[in-house]
Each structure stands twice: as structure tokens, then as C-alpha cells.
Structure 1
Amino acid sequence: MSIDLKKGGFINLSKETTKLSKIMIGLGWEQTSMRLDLDASVFVLAADGRLLNNDYFIFYNNTKSPDKAIEHLGDNRSGSAEDDDEIILANLATITPEAKELAICISIHDAVKRGHNFGLLQDAYVRIIDVETKKEISKYDLDASHFNENALIFARIKKSGDEWYFHADSQGSVTELQGIVDLFI
């Protein structure tokens, strides 16, 4: 059973799940007549909240972090997969020590040009899974929560000492992925 967190809520992943080290970020949606293309991405941030460097922005055009701890498994443009349409894997145990936070983002490709937003989606979600136990840690309904927006920071996974904390963020934007990139560079 996944944990339902509201914006601003958090859980200690190291205590809530036994020895959590590997997570899967799953993004899924059902296609509508509008043919929306959703993208999942992760920003690996330093203590100052800025991107470690450009190679630590993981998305469909940069599929692996330099430390190989985070991997995007490929771009799905149609939402036609059986389960999760896009998947990003992260190994919290092997991530570079300089990493203090992962910002997990979802965006709609070319949303402004095409007039797309999350409200046009059906059954769109983003979720976090414990890879070892296959337990769903959290799931978030995109289309119901961000009707007019086209990009959002779904969650932040922050490191404090040796423990990782999952923070529900849900910070939406109408500036597509570039607006979120600008927050972290």
C-alpha cells in the first residue's frame, strides 16, 4: 500500500522501508485524442539546491548520471506501455556523495506550442517503487491535481546524514521543462 502524502508532507525512506536503496520512478498515462507526450526527469542537486553539473540532469537525451546511480530507461512518446510508460531507476546507495537532493519532474513535451496541459490527460500518474520489495511507496494523480499546468516537480528526495527523505512537492508550472531547469541552474 502506497503512502498518500499531501504537498509539503514527507517520510523518512530509510525508516519507512527496510534498507531502501534502489527506487524506480514510474510515469504512466493513457493517450487521448490530443496525443500528449509526457517526460520524466531527475535533477541531482548539491547542498545549495543547484544542479551538480549538466550531466546530472537525467532525461530522455541524457539517460545516465556520471556515477551511473541514475538511469532513464527511454522515452515513450505515446503512453502505450502496459504499465509504466517511462521509468527512471535510482540507486541511492551509490549516488555521488555530493548529491544532497533528487528533484523528480514530469513535463509535457512542446506543451505551450500545442496548447497541452495535465488536464487533457486520462489516468496519468507518477509513482515511486522500492525496487527490492516491489512495494509502491507513493503514487500521485497528475491529471486531477494540475489541471492547467504542463510541468511539475513531483517530489524531492533529500539526504540528511545517511538517511533519505521523500518530500511531496507538487510545484506546478506553465513554462514546460525549461522553467524547471531554470530553477536548478
Structure 2
Amino acid sequence: MAISLVKGQKIDLTKGNAGLSKVIVGLGWDPAEVKGGFFGMKKAANVDCDASALLLDEKGKLSGERNLVCFYNKQSGDGSVVHTGDNITGEGDGDDEQIIVQLDKVPAHIHKILCVVNIYECESRRQDFGMIKSAFIRIVNPVNNQELIRFNLTDNYSGKTALVVGELYRNSGEWKFSAIGEGTHAPHVDILARQYQ
């Protein structure tokens, strides 16, 4: 059974899971309902959320554009982190986007893999994270499809255009996960990435 985390909580990932060398980072969300429509509620406009991974060094810096894995750069330069593709609506159950991390192939100089979500063209569409609900990040063992960790984002993110959801990080030779869940203002992942350069 998955361990459910709260904001700010950190947990061992590999220490208690011997042999875990690869994980799927699943991110999901649904469009929020808004007032209006025949029954007093209607579905919000489609919000195109984009999940990305920033591979950061020991100083928390993004060194090189191939260390930003996102919808237009689906694989890190070393091949250890892969984005499986873009979901433009958030419709349906389960993960909306997935990032696969081959933990044992992440280069030694990479200390953190920061998982973030942006809203595509948020400024021109006048959209923010108040227009989505049921957002989550989960870590899955792909060998048996077991969900190891789940972090449901329950804060009010109205007005925010980017979410720093969580991070995988090295600690004493093991990988851990930190539930962050911080909203910020960055209309595009490239702008968010600049904060780490």
C-alpha cells in the first residue's frame, strides 16, 4: 500500500525497497468545475498542464539545457530521465503525464530531480492552478506497478501558474523523496528553469 505524504514530508525511497533502480513519477490533475451550466456547475475550460523534471547538481543548479526534461525535450542528455508524452486536457483517471527515472543511471553529479508542473500558454488563456483539482504526484515501481508514494496537492493554488510538486534527491547513497507542493509564478517551464541556473 502506498505511503500518503503531506506537504513538507520526506521519505526514503530506495532504502526500504532493495533493488529499486527505476521509478515512474506519475502526475495527475482534473479540470475544476465552475459555476454556470444547466445544473449550476459546468466543467472548466481545458487546462493544459505540463510536467517537467529539472536535474540539479549539488548546488541546486541546472547545468545544461539537456538537464531540463519536458514536453519539447523528452529525455535527459544521459538518458536516465525520460518524459513519456504530453497530455493536453487532464481528462480521465490515473496519471496524466509520466516521467521515468532510471535511478541507477542518474549521473553522480546530479543530486536532485525536481518535478514541476506549468500551465501551457497560461497568460494568453488567462489560466492558473485554481482551475484544476485533484492534483497529485505519485512514485510507482514499474516492475510490479506498485504505488510506493502518493502526495495529494490540497492547497489553494489560485493565481499560481507553476507548481514545484516534489523532488527525488540523493542522501548517503540512497534516493529519497520530498513532498514540496509550492505554487509560484512562472508562465513557462523555461522561465521556471532560469531560477535554477
Q: TM-score, normalised by structure 2?
A: 0.84
- Residue 75 in structure 1 maps to residue 86 in structure 2: yes
> How far apart are 1:57 and its partner, in Å?
0.3
Q: Is the 8 A contact 2:12 2:177 kept in 1?
A: yes
**2:24 match:** 24
Q: Is the 8 A contact 2:5 2:152 kept in 1?
A: no
Larger of the two Rg values belongs to structure: 2
Q: Is the 8 A contact 1:125 1:141 kept in 2?
A: yes
**1:110 match:** 121
- Residue 183 in structure 1 maps to residue 166 in structure 2: no
SS in 1 for 2:137: strand
> How far apart are 1:43 and its partner, in Å?
0.4
**2:155 match:** 145
Q: Distance in 1 between matches of 2:6 and 2:195?
A: 22
**2:36 match:** none
> How far apart are 1:39 and its partner, in Å?
0.6
SS in 2 for 1:139: strand
Q: TM-score, normalised by structure 1?
A: 0.89
Q: More helix by proportion, 1 or 2? A: 1
Q: Is the 8 A contact 1:173 1:179 kept in 2?
A: no
SS in 2 for 1:112: helix
Q: Is the 8 A contact 2:27 2:96 kept in 1?
A: yes
**2:40 match:** none
5 Å matches for 1:1-185? 1-31=1-31, 32-142=43-153, 144-148=154-158, 149-176=160-187, 177-185=189-197
> How far apart are 1:7 and its partner, in Å?
2.4
Q: Distance in 1 between matches of 2:195 and 2:17?
A: 30
Q: Give the share of equivalent positions with the same residue, in percent.
A: 28
Q: Could you list the runs of 5+ residues in structure 2 that have no partner in the other structure?
A: 32-42
Q: Could you list the runs of 5+ residues in structure 1 that have no partner in the other structure?
A: none
Question: What is the letter of the counterpart of residue 94 of structure 2?
Answer: D
> How far apart are 1:178 and its partner, in Å?
4.3
**2:35 match:** none
Q: Distance in 2 between matches of 1:14 and 1:139?
A: 15
Q: Which is further off, 171-180 or 11-20? A: 171-180
